[in-house]
Amino acid sequence: MIDFSRVQKELQDCDKDKDASGIRVCPKSDSLTRLTGTIPGPIGTPYEGGTFQIDITIPDGYPFEPPKMQFSTKVWHPNISSQSGAICLDVLKDQWSPALTLKTALVSIQALLSAPEPKDPQDAVVAEQYMKNYQVFVSTARYWTETFAKNSSLDEKVKRLVEMGFGDAQVRTALESSGGDENVALEKLCSG
């Protein structure tokens, strides 16, 4: 009983302003029950510059039941499981309304990236770090963004730095402590 015509319309609608919003929804197959959403990491957050992919499953009762969404890109965030990518967000649960769409749900997820709610955590480890040691949280989140949500992968950076003559382990430590930023890591490596 899935209302495919509505899903179809949503996809068209989303496609229209994909350049302005940066949010995309694409079917994984022809069935329209499995989709992939893409959101850019919000500016001014540790997720900036990253592109995050979200697995979407359309349930039978859609749009009267909420779509199932979870991150397929690894994210370091209090309300997103660092293991499974599961998202703790009210509009995907009891606050879902049939008037919401896949796109508005993705916008809500993007907003969640900007404004974590550590008091209602999905990942207790991340939430604790966020509350107790915010700086460490920020650099870990940034490192994960660099590593998992950017086109240039960690291995490529490691490769480049190793080619400059530094040891592999040394390079990885430097990259991690500089939040994945190649230039900062290079400075660190040079200064000793």
Partner 1 sequence: MDDYLSGEEDDYYYSSDQESLDGLDNEESNLQLVSSRINTAKVITKESLLAAQREDLRRVMELLSLKEHHARTLLIHYRWDVEKLFAVLVEKGRDSLFSGAGLTVLEHHRRRDSSSVSHSSMMSCDICIEEVPGYQMTRMDCGHCFCNNCWAGHFTVKINEGQSKSIRCMAHKCNAICDEDVVRTLVSKSQPDLAEKFDRFLIESYIEDNKMVKWCPSAPHCGNAIRVEDDELCEVECSCGFQFCFSCSYQAHSPCSCLMLELWRKKCHDESETVNWITVHTKACPKCYKPVEKNGGCNLVTCICGQSFCWLCGEATGKDHNWSSISGHSCGRYQEDKKKQMERAKRDLYRYMHYHNRYKAHMDSSKLEDKLRDTILEKVTISEKRQLQLKDFSWVTNGLHRLFRSRRVLSYSYPFAFYMFGDELFKDEMSSEEREIKQNLFEDQQQQLEANVEKLSKFLEEPFEQFDDDKVMQIRIQVINLSVAVDTLCKKMFECIENDLLGSLQLGIHNISPYRSKGIERASDFYTSRSSKEAVGEICQPSNCGTSGRNSEETSCSSRKRPRKDGSHRNSQTTLLDLNLPAAAMERK
185-186-189 Cα angle (round to 5): 85
Among 98, 111, 124, 190, binds partner 1 (CB under 8 A): 98
Q: How far apart, in whole angstroms, are the C-alpha atoms of residue 188 and residue 171?
A: 10
Please give the order of strands across the beta sheet that includes 68-71: 24-27, 34-40, 51-57, 68-71
Least distance (Å) between residue 90 CB and partner 1: 11
Choose, by CB under 8 A, the member of 31, 84, 97, 177 that binds partner 1: 97
Dig out the tokens for 98 from the structure. 């049939």
Cα end-to-end span (Å), the chain: 63
Shortest approach of partner 1 to residue 50 CB, angstroms?
A: 28
Q: How distant, in Å, are the alpha carbons of 86, 129, 138 from that of 54?
A: 10, 24, 22
Convert residues 125-164 into a mask of x (bound to partner 1 by CB under 8 A) and - (unbound).
Answer: ----------------------------------------
26 is annotated as an active-site residue: no
Q: How far apart, in Å, are the Cα atoms of 73 and each of 77, 100, 121, 145, 156? A: 12, 24, 19, 9, 18
- Return the residues of window 55-84 that contact partner 1 according to CB under 8 A: 61, 63-65
Does 99 sit near partner 1 (CB under 8 A)?
Answer: yes
Contact range with partner 1 by CB under 8 A, out of 6-14, 75-83, 150-158, 170-178: 6-14
Q: Which residues bind partner 1 (CB under 8 A)?
A: 1, 3, 5-6, 9-10, 61, 63-65, 95, 97-100
